[in-house]
Amino acid sequence: MNLSCIIIDDEPNAVNLLEILVQQSTQWQLKAKCYNALEALAFLKNHKVDFIFLDINMPQLTGMELAGLLPPQTKIVFTTAYSEYAAESYTYQTIDYLLKPITLKRFLAAMQKIEAYFGKIDQVMPQGQTADEGYFFVKSGKVLRRILLDEILYFEGEKEYVRLVTGQEQLLIYRRLKDIEEQLSAPFVRVHNSYIVNTKQLAKIQDNHIYIADKHIPVSEKFKEGFMAIINKRIF
């Protein structure tokens, strides 16, 4: 698979090893090697890549601090000698978490995971397609199903996949809810860690719950303010 990436690590030996693994084991394009976070920020400001290899223990800014400054859609593969940051790493768009020293076996497993991740994105939203056009395609078996946005009631996240619900059917999409959210705009809004709703389909809102068809969807405190800001514009 033809993907682009950069390496961000302050250890030259670690950078060299990862560069060799990428060149010998993949068809990826390594666009840059950055030895600190500021160098990486400057590069990413003017260049687009599919994902980044990111070390955690670096001077000036740690990898976690850098991840917090990057655009939320930035896909990350963390590379570190510290296992204790693994849980925190998945608060970002983390594809994998590689512990140093990185072995060939472990790198190949990561390679398969990375390419499977981007393969799933291509299955759901082919390159160049946007949800702003009023529809998108969902791969179901060997068939690409055309789904009209207006017909969608809500999306429900369930671990490694998302359930797309219309008035007629339910489809499973093997992506994370956060990835779906990034490709949607109004009238869709995130109301819960597990739900994105189509505000055109709302029947009523009561006691911090949304009623769509026969589904009662909770509105969490995390998303309540943003959701109600949209609703308040339509209250008479």
Beta strands in the chain (DSSP E): 4-8, 29-34, 51-55, 75-80, 93-99, 135-140, 143-148, 152-158, 161-166, 170-173, 188-192, 195-198, 204-206, 209-212, 215-218
Examine the pLDDT at 61 and tell me if it is beyond 70: yes
Examine the pLDDT at 26 and tell me if it is beyond 90: yes
Measured distance CA(60)–CA(38) in Å, rounded: 8
Higher pLDDT, 41 or 158: 41
pTM comes to 0.54
Examine the pLDDT at 121 and tell me if it is beyond 60: no
Lowest mean pLDDT among 127-136, 140-149, 161-170, 181-190: 127-136
With the CA atoms of 43, 46, 49 and 53 taken in that order, what torsion angle do they form, in degrees rounded to the nearest 10? 20
In angstroms, what CA-CA distances link 59 with 9, 39, 78, 142?
Answer: 10, 12, 16, 48
pLDDT band at 133 (very low <50, low <70, confident <90, very high): low
Lowest mean pLDDT among 15-29, 62-76, 118-132: 118-132
What is the structure's pLDDT at 128?
A: 46
Where does 4-120 sit in CATH, by number? 3.40.50.2300
What is the structure's pLDDT at 201?
A: 93
User: Tens digits of per-residue pLDDT, 165-217?
Assistant: 998 888 888 778 888 887 788 789 999 999 999 999 999 999 899 999 889 99
pLDDT band at 131 (very low <50, low <70, confident <90, very high): low
Where does 135-233 sit in CATH, by number? 2.40.50.1020
Higher pLDDT, 202 or 232: 202
CB 181 within 8 A of CB 196: yes
Q: Which backbone phi and psi does 154 adopt, to 5 degrees? A: -165, 165
pLDDT band at 57 (very low <50, low <70, confident <90, very high): very high
Q: What b-and-e string marks burial along 67-106, b requiring 16 or more CB atoms within 10 Å of the CB?
A: beebeeebbbbbbbeeeebeeebeebbbbbbbebebeeee
CB 194 within 8 A of CB 225: no
pLDDT, mean of residues 88-116? 89
pLDDT band at 87 (very low <50, low <70, confident <90, very high): confident
Q: Domain spans of the chain?
A: 4-120, 135-233
Higher pLDDT, 120 or 92: 92
pLDDT band at 39 (very low <50, low <70, confident <90, very high): very high
Element (H, E) at 113: helix 104-124
